[in-house]
Amino acid sequence: MKRSLLLSLALLIAFCASGCNFWNKKPKPKPEPAIAADVEEGFKQRWVERRMAELTAKGVNTEVARQQADAEFRERYGYTNAAHK
């Protein structure tokens, strides 16, 4: 009986002294919505510019290429907030 009590006590002390922060866990900060919007907007700009370059290389007018690239972006990535801007 004494042995099991001592073993339990030793395990409890080892668990508490091991540096485990089981009880002191802080909640993770939520991501800033503005950061996500900036990332999506940057992705949209790079994608549209790349697609415009492809279209203008094929001989499409720059303004028409931009409109087509924007339309294609909205079609492919409509689930993003950047597609709705």
> Which DSSP string do the residues of 29-46 spell out, in sequence order?
PPPPHHHHHHHHHHHHHH
Instruction: Answer for the pair 68, 24: CB distance below 8 angstroms, yes or no.
Output: no
- State how many domains the chain has: 1
| CA pair distance 83, 74, nearest whole angstrom | 5
> Is 9 within a domain?
no
> Is 65 within a domain?
yes
Q: What is the pTM of this model?
A: 0.61
pLDDT in tens, the chain (85 residues): 777 777 776 766 766 665 656 666 677 777 787 888 899 999 999 999 999 999 999 999 999 999 999 999 999 999 988 888 7
State which residues form the domain around 79.
34-85
Question: DSSP 3-state assignment of 22?
Answer: coil
